[in-house]
Amino acid sequence: MFSQYWDILFTFAKAFAVGGLICMIAQIVINFTDLTSGKILVIFMLAGVVLQGLGLYQYLVDFAGAGATVPISGFGYLLANGAIRGAQKGLFGAFTGALSAASAGVSAAVIFSFIMAMIFKAKSKKN
């Protein structure tokens, strides 16, 4: 019974450590380069795609769970994983597989963004 709680705690610790490491790398890139936020997001998403295409990101997901799938690199992993599974059905499946794998997350982002835009008033950022 007690070991069950340690297993849960260890799972949380792994997810926190890996997710934190990904965020730490992003913060280092922000601090020491002149890259914009958009470019950094694209780099991390493409890193997830490339690592999954090489079959490496799956090991990180198996080890850390949500610590590897929640950051933006996890979105790239999701797209690549869907494309790889869809490619088994043909070229058209490669395109639709990536979109169907990410459809729930993209739909949620659009819906919740719309709801927040209806609730709150947008303001310009003043320098």
**Is residue 127 situated within a structural domain?**
no
The tokens describing 59, both together, are: 């090991």
Task: Work out the average pLDDT over 35-49.
Answer: 91
Q: Does the structure show a pLDDT above 80 at 120? A: yes
CA triple 83-62-77, angle to 5 deg: 25
pLDDT tens by residue, 43-59: 999 999 999 989 899 99
**Is residue 73 situated within a structural domain?**
yes
**Is residue 43 situated within a structural domain?**
yes
**Is residue 21 situated within a structural domain?**
yes
pTM exceeding the 0.85 threshold for the entire prediction: no
User: If you write DSSP's letter for every residue of 3-69 in order, what string do you get?
Assistant: HHHHHHHHHHHHHHHHHHHHHHHHHHHHHHS---HHHHHHHHHHHHHHHHHTT-HHHHHHHHTHHHH
Domain count, the chain: 1
**Is residue 126 situated within a structural domain?**
no
Confidence band, pLDDT 50/70/90 cuts, at residue 69:
confident
List the domain range (segments joined by +) for residue 47.
2-119
Give the length of the chain. 127
